[in-house]
Structure 1
Amino acid sequence: MRINIFQLFFLISILVTQSSYSQVDVVYTNLVWSDEFDANGAVNSSKWHHQTQLPAGGSWFNGEVQHYTDQLTNSFVNGGFLNVVAKKEPYTSQGITKQYTSARLNSKFSFLYGRVDVRAKIPTNQGTWPAIWMLGKNVNENGAFFDAQFGTTDWPACGEIDIMEHGITPSQPANYVQSALHTPSSFGNTTNIGGTIANNLGNDFHVYSMNWSPFQISFLLDGVVFYTYNPAVKTPSNWPFNAEQYLLLNIAMGGIAGTIPSNFTQTAMEIDYVRVYQNTLVDTQAPTNFTASIGAITSSTIELLLNADDNSGNVNYNITYSGGTISLANPSGVQRSVVIPNLLPNTNYSFSVAASDLAGNAFVTNPILLNATTTGVIGCSGNDTEAQAGTFSIGYNYAFETLGTDVKITFEMLDTDKVGVVAFLWRQSPFTEYQMTNVSGNIFTKTITGQTIGSTINYAVKFAYAGGLSVTRYFSYVVGNNCALEIPTLSESRQLCYPNPVEDILHLQLLDSHNQIRLTDVLGKTHLERVVNATGNLDMSDFKPGIYFLRIQNSRGIQYLKIIKN
């Protein structure tokens, strides 16, 4: 097949890799293992192992119905391509007869960190599940190539990296391919998933790639990153990816891939090449031209802009501040934007930033010290119980915050009798529904971009849960406005809270002898709630610095006062 077509594909691969340098954190350039499938016939037995042993119970996982075999009809090389073939045929092995056969190949090569490129054309037949994926070398799975010598760890503690899978996402549009990671903290129906649309899937070849560094795992289609997994704090529960893994190629049949049509006969996944890259050269030169500066600042984030050069092609950055340490890498000579999250408003932060390469060679004058102060909050928050659909037993917190020309909307469901809660943001006109991101517990957020300062937006939130749903009322918010969403009925000048800003004791001078007060933060979280007399004190000495809202309810109505804690 290759009249120097190999050289052409190699150049294309290099171009694809170069084009994606700015999208991955570590660039791997040395080809350490590959199969170009140049020799017709059986697969190269020095590189691949046929995994055929059935799991205990006689069936493969996920309700699959195939036998994996080492038959030449299920896996063979022809014309420069590996063919993994799934067929409808009765086949008896290990005393069990099944009606479908396929192949499951394990690479006899394992590695820690690097890049995988697989150029393949995959089948899209109903009921088929083609996959290009990886498992920890230490997986305890009878029949796997490394099991006898290294199989000490059960799945998912061994870690699983799914580079490409198709056929198990019926809710997605046609031509959708998925990548996923399975860990002790999220496995089976994992939440660690990303996907994208591949043009003319089933008819065209595409390059499916995975870039794995000590800091993150990125997935690419034809050289373009579409999903990155990078938990901020890595533990054995969410990051078992610090040990060697090996590659698997297979087509599963049935089970969660759906019903196999009665007229199915056979299909194939065609693979042009499998290539693994790492960085193998000894590096003794430290980074040069290291710069670090402050970028955009909001009430809760500070952006750091980092850049440096290194002969290895990669630079490692370590950022230390009061919130901990952030470690990451980036290609040499490419500016990296790092947004530090979860900061307090009106607060000064100091950052110590160091640069080194992956071999540990440090920049000569580490570290660079930076200082920045977060802005004040521009927004509104509070809580409510009103529902336009369903009911709330306790209620919900809400917060709207303007960030430049974006508005971050956060809602928290306070009901404790609801399980399996998910949230959707509703725009009133024209009606649009957006899924919100879960922050923690029943707190959900969504940022809407490109808003006009001074314009009014109207949003509600639908909370869906097991057995029902509850929808909040619509809230009107003026973009760029710093306010409480309820209109106060009392004059702020007649009810006083002082000193404001407050260090320790907040003194209250209210109009009634019986006042219900509630103190919430900018996200609507309640920090105290009580009944007080006309005069009283609140001890805020143990509160974190930031902006709070004091809701005062009495016979005169409801009033919100903004309290700044230094």
Structure 2
Amino acid sequence: MQKNTAFRILVSFFLTQCCLAQVDVVYSDLVWSDEFSVNGPVNATNWFHQTQLPVGGSWFNGEVQHYTDSQTNSFVDAGLLNIVAKKEIYTDQGITKAYTSARLNSKFAFKYGRVDIRAKLPLESGTWPAIWMLGKNVNEPGAYFSAAYGTTNWPACGETDIMEHGIFPSQSINYIQSTLHTPSSYGNSVNSGGTIASDLANNYHVYSMNWSPFQISFLLDNVVYYTYNPAVKNDSTWPFDKEQYLLLNIAMGGIAGNISPTFTQNAMLIDYVRVYQNTTVDTQAPANFTAAVGAVTGSSVQLLLNATDNSGMLEYNVAYGALNNTSSGMSGVQKSVVISGLSPNTNYTFTVSANDLAGNTAANSPIVLNATTGELVQCGGNSSEAQQGSFSTGYNYTFQTIGTDVKITFELLDTDKVGLVAYLWKQSPFIESQMTNVSGNTFTKTISGQTAGSTINYAVKFAYAGGLSVTKYISYVVGSNCALGTTTPSELKQFSFPNPVEDVLHLQLSDHQNKIFLTDILGRMQLKSVVTSSHNLDMSSYKSGIYFLRVENSHGIQNLKIIKK
């Protein structure tokens, strides 16, 4: 296909102008490409043919092909790279197989940037075309970088699947998917997202990945359809802070399913491969840096950050105790950073700095902020009761109210489950939604727009290799707090009246000495006191709204919803 300099400039302009809202960092300098403009063998300066079989004599996932360096399996013609999978008897490394294909490694590795690959895919049953990346440090004998840099096993090296097709039998024939494989989730990874393209067999599409220090986004024809941005970035969730290289291949069979008996050959046609980064030296530091405390709950503090920079992007680093939180923000746009997992009733000091991606630091960095968390508004417990399947040990659960959101967390205590994923079940109307893996067997999901005092009912389906187990439905009153004990309102003969209250709330409690805690709808502590069995609580100065009164005494804990007129 005809390609020229003007076209490249147009593409660079298009990336800069149209995609700013699509991705967090716009990369516009072309640093490596192959336009496939010379007919014949694949350019050996750019590409390496990976042909060495893994230990055991077969490629992974039950695939049945040999990868070869034959020009019949990979070649350039009329401006297109042809990666051809063929049905043919082929013997290599002492092993005979019935199919051949090609697997190309780029001889270029990079960290952070954007990849654009324009391609047309084979759709025949049993074909598995893929455009993907592996860490340069992967220990995979036969891979281009492995001999010199292979220090890390898969998946700790990180795998970035930009596009895969043919291994999703329940999806449309035009469905493609992007997936991240990390130590925290791999194989049937939960870190994936897909979309449906238009007529993959006959149309070329641009498959893109935009990789910044903060997140990885995947695009089809310049439209983002999935972004990976784990809340905690460490070796388990984010091995994507090291160089990776590109792979292009078609696998046959295995999890791609049965190969059509009429299959003879098919090809993935690639028009171009382009990698963009930002190479211009930036010496201008961020300006107008401000930082302030926003909403505070029993387990989180919101920080409101802003700065301007000529690059258009900022990196904010928040240090507190021995921990750090790093996130990105757009120049001149207020960034909300919520620091979660904090202890209730605790003072925290946050040291905040603003940098650009070149490492220039705002002149007034760091800014030091202090905030004290409120009372934790949550309920929790554990059970081994199942409505489907069974639990050998059981599960822990917590429901935490954060403003008008409820964060639901379940931990499976059974230790014999492999390939574990979790789905949150809403009882009525029934809705199933995937939960996020926090660590180990702990999963969480936050539901928004909840009404204080309303009752919600949720269960969790744990799916794993060989089966599934579903917890019982658990009821939670939004805004209630039973974190310090068991709530037994039916057994406690305690009263508060009138309710709604205008001035004085009369309390009739069970003990001569009782602890009471009054919080507002956001979980902020309004009052703590020790009172006798008969007590009048003056609420005349409180604003109208919903409050929660927790009573602690020798009989247990009771939570009361109070409405102030």
| TM-score w.r.t. length of structure 1 | 0.78
Counterparts of 2:440 and 2:321 in 1: how far apart (Å)?
25
- Is contact 2:300–2:341 with CA below 8 Å preserved after alignment? yes
After TM superposition, give the deviation of residue 562 of structure 1 in Å. Answer: 6.1
Paired position in structure 2 for 1:469:
469
Once the two structures are superposed, the pairs formed by residues 204-215 of structure 1 within 5 Å of their partners are 204-215=203-214
Counterparts of 1:85 and 1:392 in 2: how far apart (Å)?
48
Paired position in structure 1 for 2:489:
487
Amino acid at match of 2:227: Y
Once the two structures are superposed, the pairs formed by residues 95-106 of structure 1 within 5 Å of their partners are 95-106=94-105
For residues 447 and 355 of structure 1, do their structure 2 counterparts lie closer, same or farther at Cα, with a shift above 3 Å needed? closer
For residues 48 and 453 of structure 1, do their structure 2 counterparts lie closer, same or farther at Cα, with a shift above 3 Å needed? same
1:413-457 deviation line (CA, Å, top 9, x unaligned): 56x587456554333333333344444555443333334455443
Once the two structures are superposed, the pairs formed by residues 43-54 of structure 1 within 5 Å of their partners are 43-54=42-53
Counterparts of 1:176 and 1:460 in 2: how far apart (Å)?
30
Q: Secondary structure at the match of 2:242?
A: coil
Sequence identity of aligned pairs in percent? Answer: 62
Is 2:412 aligned against 1:428?
no
Amino acid at match of 2:490: P
Counterparts of 1:70 and 1:349 in 2: how far apart (Å)?
60
For residues 306 and 14 of structure 1, do their structure 2 counterparts lie closer, same or farther at Cα, with a shift above 3 Å needed? farther
Counterparts of 1:282 and 1:8 in 2: how far apart (Å)?
25
Paired position in structure 2 for 1:361:
360
1:189-221 deviation line (CA, Å, top 9, x unaligned): 444434333344343333222233344433333
Instruction: Provide structure 1 residue ranges, at least 5 long, that are not aligned to the other structure.
Output: 511-546, 554-558
Q: Secondary structure at the match of 1:259?
A: coil
Counterparts of 1:378 and 1:411 in 2: how far apart (Å)?
17
Q: Secondary structure at the match of 2:88?
A: strand
After TM superposition, give the deviation of residue 184 of structure 1 in Å. Answer: 4.7
After TM superposition, give the deviation of residue 257 of structure 1 in Å. Answer: 1.6
After TM superposition, give the deviation of residue 341 of structure 1 in Å. Answer: 1.4
Amino acid at match of 1:494: S
After TM superposition, give the deviation of residue 274 of structure 1 in Å. Answer: 0.9
After TM superposition, give the deviation of residue 300 of structure 1 in Å. Answer: 2.7
Once the two structures are superposed, the pairs formed by residues 107-506 of structure 1 within 5 Å of their partners are 107-184=106-183, 186-223=185-222, 224=224, 226-230=226-230, 232-235=232-235, 237-322=236-321, 324-378=323-377, 380-382=379-381, 397-412=396-411, 419=417, 423-440=422-439, 443-453=442-452, 455-462=454-461, 469-473=469-473, 475=475, 477-480=476-479, 487-492=489-494, 493-495=509-511, 498=514
Amino acid at match of 1:15: F
After TM superposition, give the deviation of residue 373 of structure 1 in Å. Answer: 4.3
After TM superposition, give the deviation of residue 323 of structure 1 in Å. Answer: 6.1
- Is contact 1:163–1:208 with CA below 8 Å preserved after alignment? yes
Deviates more, 1:205-214 or 1:370-379: 370-379
Counterparts of 1:378 and 1:151 in 2: how far apart (Å)?
48
Amino acid at match of 1:487: P
- Equivalent residue for 1:560, pick from 538, 557, 562: 557
After TM superposition, give the deviation of residue 98 of structure 1 in Å. Answer: 2.0
- Is contact 2:304–2:335 with CA below 8 Å preserved after alignment? yes
- Is contact 1:175–1:200 with CA below 8 Å preserved after alignment? yes
For residues 368 and 478 of structure 1, do their structure 2 counterparts lie closer, same or farther at Cα, with a shift above 3 Å needed? same
Paired position in structure 1 for 2:76:
77
After TM superposition, give the deviation of residue 253 of structure 1 in Å. Answer: 0.7
Counterparts of 2:182 and 2:463 in 1: how far apart (Å)?
27
1:23-79 deviation line (CA, Å, top 9, x unaligned): 544332221111122223332222122222333443222221112223333222233
1:107-162 deviation line (CA, Å, top 9, x unaligned): 12222332222122222322111111122334343433334444454444443322
Counterparts of 1:83 and 1:192 in 2: how far apart (Å)?
30
After TM superposition, give the deviation of residue 467 of structure 1 in Å. Answer: 6.1
Q: Secondary structure at the match of 2:449?
A: coil
1:216-243 deviation line (CA, Å, top 9, x unaligned): 43333333151214462423x5544343
Paired position in structure 2 for 1:537:
none
1:537-557 deviation line (CA, Å, top 9, x unaligned): xxxxxxxxxx9997977xxxx
Q: Secondary structure at the match of 2:218?
A: strand
- Is contact 2:123–2:173 with CA below 8 Å preserved after alignment? no
- Is contact 2:68–2:101 with CA below 8 Å preserved after alignment? yes
After TM superposition, give the deviation of residue 263 of structure 1 in Å. Answer: 1.2
Paired position in structure 2 for 1:541:
none
- Is contact 1:23–1:225 with CA below 8 Å preserved after alignment? no
Counterparts of 2:73 and 2:477 in 1: how far apart (Å)?
63
For residues 472 and 551 of structure 1, do their structure 2 counterparts lie closer, same or farther at Cα, with a shift above 3 Å needed? farther
Amino acid at match of 2:128: W
For residues 327 and 384 of structure 1, do their structure 2 counterparts lie closer, same or farther at Cα, with a shift above 3 Å needed? closer
- Is contact 1:386–1:473 with CA below 8 Å preserved after alignment? no
After TM superposition, give the deviation of residue 86 of structure 1 in Å. Answer: 1.2
1:254-310 deviation line (CA, Å, top 9, x unaligned): 112211111112222121211112222222221122233344444433332333222
Counterparts of 1:399 and 1:225 in 2: how far apart (Å)?
31
Amino acid at match of 1:350: T
- Is contact 2:516–2:551 with CA below 8 Å preserved after alignment? no
Q: Secondary structure at the match of 1:124?
A: coil
Is 2:13 aligned against 1:11?
no
- Is contact 2:404–2:448 with CA below 8 Å preserved after alignment? yes
After TM superposition, give the deviation of residue 395 of structure 1 in Å. Answer: 6.2
For residues 176 and 291 of structure 1, do their structure 2 counterparts lie closer, same or farther at Cα, with a shift above 3 Å needed? farther
Counterparts of 2:303 and 2:335 in 1: how far apart (Å)?
8
After TM superposition, give the deviation of residue 485 of structure 1 in Å. Answer: 6.6
What is the root-mean-square deviation in Å for CA atoms of aligned residues? 3.8
For residues 181 and 325 of structure 1, do their structure 2 counterparts lie closer, same or farther at Cα, with a shift above 3 Å needed? same
Q: Secondary structure at the match of 2:6?
A: helix
Counterparts of 1:549 and 1:38 in 2: how far apart (Å)?
77
Paired position in structure 2 for 1:522:
none
Counterparts of 2:416 and 2:303 in 1: how far apart (Å)?
40
| TM-score w.r.t. length of structure 2 | 0.78
- Is contact 2:382–2:397 with CA below 8 Å preserved after alignment? yes
Amino acid at match of 2:325: I
Is 2:28 aligned against 1:29?
yes
- Is contact 1:293–1:370 with CA below 8 Å preserved after alignment? yes
Q: Secondary structure at the match of 1:21?
A: coil
Counterparts of 2:52 and 2:38 in 1: how far apart (Å)?
27
Counterparts of 1:549 and 1:397 in 2: how far apart (Å)?
25
- Is contact 1:115–1:210 with CA below 8 Å preserved after alignment? yes
